[in-house]
Amino acid sequence: MTVTIARQGEIAIVTVDNPPVNALSTALRQGLWDAVGALDADASVAAVVLVCAGRTFIAGADVTEFGKPPQPPHLPDLVDRIEGATKPWVAAIHGSALGGGFEVAMGCRFRVAAPDASVGLPEVGLGIVPGASGTVRTPRLAGAALAAELVTSGRPMPAPKAFAAGLVDAVIQGDLRDGAAAFARQALTRPLPAPVSARPVAAPAAGFWAEQEKAVAKTAKGAAAPLRALDCLRKAVEAPFAEAMAFERQTFLELRGSDQAAALRHVFFAERAAPRPAALRGVEPLPLRRAAVIGGGTMGAGIIAALCEAGLPVTLIERDDAAVARGLANLRGIFAGGVKRGKLTEAQAEALTAGVTGTTDYASIADADLVIEAVFEEIGVKRAVFEQLARVCRPDAVLATNTSYLDPRVIAEGLPNPGRFIGLHFFSPANVMKLLEIVPAPDTSDRTLATGFALARMLKKIPVRAGICEGFIGNRILKRYRAAAEALVRQGVPIAEIDAAMRGYGFAMGPFEAQDLGGLDIAFLQREGARAAGQDVPETLGDILVRAGRKGQKTGGGWYDYAPGERRPQPSAVAAELLADQIRPGPAMSREEIAQALVSEMAAEGRAILNEGIAQTPADIDLVEIHGYGFPRWRGGPMFATGRKG
In the complex, minimum distance from the CB of residue 284 to ligand 3H9, in angstroms, rounded to a whole number: 19
Mapping DSSP onto H, E and C, the string for 149-205 reads HHHHHCCCEEHHHHHHHCCCCEECCCCHHHHHHHHHHHHCCCCCCCCHHHCCCCCCC
Q: Work out which of 130, 338, 419, 511 binds ligand 3H9, going by CB under 6 A.
A: 130
Nearer to ligand 3H9, 20 or 564 (CB): 20
Q: Contacting ligand 3H9 (CB under 6 A), which of 14, 92, 98, 615?
A: 98
**596 by DSSP, 3-state: which?**
helix
Cβ proximity to ligand 3H9: between 272 and 547 the closer is: 272
266 near 619, Cβ under 8 Å? yes
Looking at residues 497 to 556 of the shown chain, list those that interact with ligand 3H9 (rule: CB under 6 A): none
Minimal CA–CA distance to 45: which of 15, 14, 17?
14
* CA 180 – CA 58 distance, rounded (Å): 16
Residue from 416, 322, 321, 410 nearest 360 by CA:
321
* 593 tagged catalytic: no
Binding-residue pattern over the window 596 to 615 for ligand 3H9, x denoting contact by CB under 6 A: --------------------
Considering the candidates 10, 65, 83, 103, report the single residue annotated as catalytic. 103
Q: How far is the CB of 504 from ligand 3H9 (least distance, A)?
A: 28
By CB under 6 A, name the one of 126, 224, 288, 317 that touches ligand 3H9.
Answer: 126
> Which amino acid does the sequence have at 393?
C
Query: What does DSSP say about strands 118-120 and 157-158: parallel, antiparallel, or unpaired?
Result: antiparallel
d(CA 482, CA 549): 20
Tell which one of 31, 88, 100, 557 touches ligand 3H9 (CB under 6 A). Answer: 100
φ, ψ of residue 348 in degrees (nearest 5): -65, -40
Interacting residue with ligand 3H9 among 62, 373, 521, 620 (CB under 6 A): 62
Q: How far is the CB of 124 from ligand 3H9 (least distance, A)?
A: 10
Q: How far is the CB of 281 from ligand 3H9 (least distance, A)?
A: 12
From the list 59, 90, 370, 400, which residue makes contact with ligand 3H9 (rule: CB under 6 A)? Answer: 59
Residue 99 in the binding site for ligand 3H9 (CB under 6 A): yes
Could you tell me how many residues of this chain bind ligand 3H9 (CB under 6 A)?
26
**Burial zone of 347 (CB within 10 Å; 0-12 exposed, 13-18 middle, 19+ buried):** exposed
Sites for ligand 3H9 among residues 234-293 (CB under 6 A): 269, 272
Pick out residues in 186-205 that bind ligand 3H9 (CB under 6 A).
Answer: none
Of the ranges 60-68, 206-214, 315-323, 396-404, which one interacts with ligand 3H9 (CB under 6 A)?
60-68
Contacts of 639 by beta carbon, 8 Å cutoff, 6+ apart: 603, 606, 618, 619, 621, 622, 645, 646
Known catalytic membership, residue 103: yes
* Residue 132 binds ligand 3H9, judged by CB under 6 A: yes
From the list 22, 20, 19, the residue with the least C-alpha distance to 50 is 22
Give the alpha-carbon dihedral of 444, 448, 454, 459, to 10 degrees: -80
Q: Does 623 bind ligand 3H9 (CB under 6 A)?
A: no
Select from 2, 15, 36, 60 the one that contacts ligand 3H9 (CB under 6 A): 60
Is residue 438 a contact partner of residue 372, using CB atoms and an 8 Å limit? no
Instruction: Compare residues 62 and 486 and give the one whose CB is closer to ligand 3H9.
Output: 62
> Residue 639 in contact with residue 619, Cβ under 8 Å?
yes
User: CB 614 → ligand 3H9: shortest distance, Å?
Assistant: 24
Cα separation, 346 vs 341, whole angstroms: 12
Q: ω before 418 within 30° of 0 (cis)?
A: no
List active site positions.
Answer: 103, 123
Would you tell me which residues interact with ligand 3H9 (CB under 6 A)?
20-21, 23, 55-56, 59-64, 75, 96, 98-100, 103, 122-123, 126, 130-132, 134, 269, 272
